[in-house]
Structures are given as C-alpha cells and as structure tokens.
C-alpha cells in the first residue's frame, strides 16, 4: 500500500472552539498583532510551535502515573538515564526543565566576553544565551541555504570551509565550542548529513575544539539521513542516531521536540570536569542532578518519548505528513522553503508579499493574515525574530507552520492548505506592520505592533 497512515489511534480528544472572522479580528487587535499574545482557545489550528505541543502516548501517560517523586535517587531518573545512555552512548546526562536551561548552563560555563560560538544556524534561545554570556554567535550556513528554492538534500549543513576561515580569523583559543543544530530550525528544519558532522568533528579535532550538537530534532535528522545519504539506507535510525551523538563532545536537547513531552530538556557532556561544573550549576538553579527542575513523572515521560521517537513507522508518517503539506502548498503556487523540512513548512514571506519590505515585517503581516482568515497561528521567523538594533538582517523572511507531533489529522492539514492558498490569492490586501514597543532580547515574544 502507498498510503502512509497515522501509526496510532485517537483515544482522547480535545475540542477546538470554532470562531468567526469578526471574533478573530477583535482578538488579533487586542493582541496588538503579536500572535504570542493570543489566547490559545481563540486559535483553531495552532502551528506556532512543535515544542511541547505533541500528544503523549498511553505508555507516556502510564509513566506519568508511575513517576517516583523522591528528591534524590528516583528510579524514574534511572529509567531516563538508561534510555539516554542506550540511545546516545553518553555517561554525563543531566536533566533540565527545557532546552534553554541546558543552553544557559553550557554558556555560563563556556561563554564570555570576546569569545565566538559558531553554529550552522543558532536558534533564537541559543543565540540569546550565547550573546547573554558576552560571546558572539556566528551562523555558518552553506550557500545553498540562502536560496529558498534550492533542493539540496542536506540544506542544514554547516559551511565547513567558512568554519576553517573563522578559526583562522579569530583564533581557536577564542572559540569555546562549535555547535551544530540538527535539524536546523531557523534554516527551515533542514537536515545535516553525517558527512558534514564528520567533517566538523575533523576540523574540531585538528584545532583542539569542543563539538556540541543542538540535538532537539535528532531523530527527524536521522530519518532524512537514511534515504538521502549514500551508504545509509540499510542502517537503522537507532544506529544513525548513535553515530551522530558519537561524533559530539556534548549536546543540548529540548525534549519538547523529539522527546514528545510537554516539558523537559537534557544536557549531555563527555568531559568529567565540565560535567562536574555543570552539575554544580544545575543544583544551583534547576534542581538536584537526579531531577534537574523536573518532576519524576516528567523523566518517565521523557524516557518513553525518546524510545517512541526512534520507531521508524512513526518517523515515516511524521516526515511524510510534513512533505504532504509542503507539496500541496507548492501545488497552489504558495512559495515555501524547499525541500520540505522535518517538523515544519516555512512559507517564503518575502516572495509571498513582495510589496511589503523587510522593515515592515512581511512574515508578521502574513501570519496575522492567516490568523484573521482561518484562525491558524503560525510563527514569524525573520526580521521580527532576528532583526533589531545591533543585529544583522536575517537571510530570509519566513513564516513557520510547525506541526505538533501526533496532534492534527490530514483534514486539519487540508484546511491549512486551503487557507494558505486563499490568502495567497488575496495577498495584495496584506498590510505591513510597525513595532511600537519591544524588549531588547527575544523581542518576538512580546513586541507590540500597529498596522502600517
């Protein structure tokens, strides 16, 4: 059979509150055109993020009941640790409450004034944590990543020649860690090849540098490697995942993505001295090393989620359903970042609304339009998220339709396609926006806008 079905049945449902266009008009105005300010029950299809929004399985909910809430030495921690160890080969395994807590601890230890952190592409919280430490965050995308229509199979790859040039320019002693984000979220959920990870490792070894993964979507990345990378099709996802982690000295992970949990994160470290210091920092700000800011039940859900995400029938369904959305949008002439990524489809807002310049935020205008028309909440990834004083203009103006794991069915996705196609047909009516108030850091979460 060619049809790939959802490899699960639905046992519990959450009603969606239907809304009218007039109601949504009032809501978006009250939210001052920032979709983060909307009440979630005023949203029909919530594609703001795939983070912490997945549906947990029966076994994960069973784990929630089994959770042992002992302050120290909980067997729930042991199950979490054993799962992470078997999957990644790491011994230094610290739970944190989410990805950015792992990032904060890492850059508190490794960051600092005058230092430089390269990455294929930093995501917003990673960049903010690097910069908060005083270091400079540098993105080293391959040139193909700048062209939304280039169908490079590993568009998330790091430009390794550019990494060499950066090391020559600033000196290895000013680079505390080289990071690589798998898959590359701000670059379109695009995968990184094993060959690229091996090449980064080789450069790091030659210069005595640490190499860390931002591994939020490691399983989706591995699923792309299997069919696309020569010599990988016969390997299991588990083996590919293991090789990805074997290449790294450490990893920050938000378990809210491929861990399919509502809250949780991980910091993996090989260096015993760094592990020791990170454990102290964890105890100071997150919690004791066997719970790290989480409840025992959360550790159970994470252990089970990290197991389920490696199931290949799940990954086949997951990646195919994202591609389905992308292909149908392209069929309606909606410009998207190609090829479709692992957790989201990114609409090319600059091509969608060519009459709205970057300083009037075409991505935000598109996201506002989509909400007004159909109650769909998407996320701008462009000049609102990455622009502002002291920041270089982002390479693309994107709107991300992030698909929560195991939550929406094909008819929800068909509704999204219909809405995007209708918005595209009436795109000349979209209006640019101006920011009237925004904080210095991570401004997209709380900026307030007016229509131009």
Angle at which helices 362-374 and 410-425 cross, to 10° = 120
Tell me the two tokens of residue 397. 């103006």
Residue 34 or 49 with smaller CB distance to ligand PLP: 49
CA 301 to mean position of chain CA atoms: 20
Q: Per DSSP, what are the bridge partners of residue 87?
A: none
Smallest gap, in angstroms, from Cβ of residue 229 to ligand PLP?
Answer: 21
What are the Cα distances from residue 293, in Å, to 101, 107, 296, 437? 9, 18, 10, 32
Q: Which stretch binds ligand PLP (CB under 6 A): 39-47, 119-127, 299-307, 432-440?
A: 119-127
Q: Which is nearer to ligand PLP, 33 or 218 (CB)?
A: 218
Q: Closest CB to ligand PLP among 74 and 126?
A: 126
The correct pick among 141, 226, 256, 427 for binding ligand PLP (CB under 6 A) is 256
- State which residue, 27 or 124, has the beta carbon closest to ligand PLP: 124
Report if residue 265 touches ligand PLP, rule: CB under 6 A: yes
With contacts defined by CB under 6 A, name the span among 71-79, 120-128, 228-236, 377-385 that binds ligand PLP.
120-128
Q: Which of 254, 279, 304, 383 binds ligand PLP (CB under 6 A)?
A: 254
3-state secondary structure of 399: strand
305 binds ligand PLP (CB under 6 A): no
Q: Hey, which bits of 294-444 come out as E strands?
A: 344-348, 376-377, 379-381, 398-402, 433-437
What Cα–Cα distance (Å) separates residue 120 from each residue in 63, 157, 335? Answer: 36, 7, 24
Binding segment for ligand PLP (CB under 6 A), chosen from 34-42, 84-92, 96-104, 427-435, is 96-104
- Which residue's CB is nearer to ligand PLP, number 197 or number 334? 197
Contact range with ligand PLP by CB under 6 A, out of 80-88, 92-100, 157-165, 434-442: 92-100
| 10-18, 97-105, 219-227, 282-290 -> range binding ligand PLP (CB under 6 A) | 97-105
Q: Of the two residues 297 and 424, which places its CB atom closer to ligand PLP in the complex?
A: 297
Grouping H, G, I as helix, E, B as strand and the rest as coil, residue 269 is: strand
**Order of strands, edge to edge, in the sheet holding 178-181?**
92-96, 265-269, 250-254, 211-214, 178-181
Instruction: Indicate the SS3 state at residue 374.
Output: helix
* 443 lies in the site for ligand PLP, by CB under 6 A: no
For residues 100 and 406, which CB has a smaller minimum distance to ligand PLP in the complex? 100
Q: Near ligand PLP by CB under 6 A, which window of 121-129, 138-146, 168-176, 228-236?
A: 121-129
User: What's the rounded Cα separation, in Å, for the pair 260 and 303?
Assistant: 10
Taking CB under 6 A as the rule, does residue 100 contact ligand PLP?
Answer: yes
Under rule CB under 6 A, which residues in 204-243 are in contact with ligand PLP?
214, 216
Residue 116: closest CA among 184, 180, 182, 167: 167
Interaction between residue 318 and ligand PLP (CB under 6 A): no
* Orientation angle between helical segments 218-228 and 312-331, nearest 10 degrees: 80
The verdict on 185 binding ligand PLP (CB under 6 A) reads yes
Percent helix, strand, coil in the chain, to 5, is 45, 15, 40
Could you give the CA distance from residue 142 to residue 43 in angstroms, rounded to a whole number?
A: 36
- The answer to the question of residue 51 lying near ligand PLP (CB under 6 A) is yes
Task: Quote the strand ranges of 263-397, DSSP E.
Answer: 265-269, 344-348, 376-377, 379-381
C-beta closer to ligand PLP: residue 265 or 404: 265
Total binding residues toward ligand PLP, as defined by CB under 6 A: 14
Chosen residue from 57, 60, 76, 98 binding ligand PLP by CB under 6 A: 98
Task: Give Cβ neighbours of residue 426 (< 8 Å, ≥ 6 apart).
Answer: none
Residue nearest ligand PLP (C-beta atom): 99
By CB under 6 A, name the binding residues for ligand PLP.
51, 98-100, 123, 125-126, 181, 185, 214, 216, 254, 256, 265
């Amino acid at each position: 059979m060619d049809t790939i079905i959802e490899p699960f049945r639905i046992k519990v449902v959450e009603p969606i509150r239907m809304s009218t266009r007039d109601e949504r008009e009032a809501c978006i105005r009250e939210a001052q055109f920032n979709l983060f300010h909307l009440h979630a029950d005023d949203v029909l299809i919530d594609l703001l993020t795939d983070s912490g929004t997945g549906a947990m399985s029966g076994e994960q909910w069973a784990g929630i009941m089994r959770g042992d809430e002992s302050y120290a030495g909980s067997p729930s921690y042991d199950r979490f640790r054993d799962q992470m160890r078997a999957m990644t080969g790491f011994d230094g395994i610290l739970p944190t409450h989410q990805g950015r807590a792992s990032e904060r601890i890492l850059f508190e230890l490794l960051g600092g004034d005058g230092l430089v952190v390269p990455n294929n592409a930093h995501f917003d919280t990673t960049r903010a944590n690097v910069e908060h430490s005083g270091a400079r965050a540098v993105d080293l995308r391959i040139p193909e990543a700048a062209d939304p229509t280039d169908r490079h199979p590993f568009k998330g790859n790091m430009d390794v020649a550019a990494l060499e040039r950066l090391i020559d320019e600033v000196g290895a002693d000013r680079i505390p860690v080289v990071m690589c984000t798998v898959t590359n979220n701000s670059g379109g959920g695009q995968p990184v090849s094993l060959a690229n990870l091996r090449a980064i490792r080789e450069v790091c070894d030659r210069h005595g540098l640490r190499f860390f993964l931002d591994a939020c979507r490691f399983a989706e990345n591995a699923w792309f490697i299997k069919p696309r990378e020569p010599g990988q099709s016969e390997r299991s996802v588990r083996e590919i995942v293991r090789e990805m982690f074997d290449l790294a000295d450490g990893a920050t992970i938000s378990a809210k993505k491929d861990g399919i949990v509502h809250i949780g994160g991980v910091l993996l470290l090989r260096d015993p001295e760094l592990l020791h210091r990170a454990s102290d920092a964890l105890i100071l700000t997150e919690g004791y090393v066997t719970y790290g800011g989480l409840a025992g039940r959360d550790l159970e859900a994470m252990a089970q989620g990290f197991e389920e995400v490696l199931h290949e029938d799940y990954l086949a369904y997951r990646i195919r359903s994202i591609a389905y959305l992308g292909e149908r949008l392209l069929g309606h002439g909606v410009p998207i970042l190609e090829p479709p990524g692992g957790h989201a489809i990114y609409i090319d807002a600059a091509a969608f609304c060519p009459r709205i310049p970057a300083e009037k935020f075409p991505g935000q205008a598109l996201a506002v339009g989509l909400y007004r028309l159909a109650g769909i909440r998407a996320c701008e990834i462009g000049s609102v998220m990455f622009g502002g004083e002291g920041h270089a203009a982002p390479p693309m103006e994107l709107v991300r339709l992030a698909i929560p794991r195991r939550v929406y069915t094909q008819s929800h996705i068909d509704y999204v396609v219909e809405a995007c196609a209708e918005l595209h047909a009436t795109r000349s009516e979209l209006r640019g926006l101006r920011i009237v108030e925004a904080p210095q850091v991570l401004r997209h979460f709380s900026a307030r806008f007016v229509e131009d």
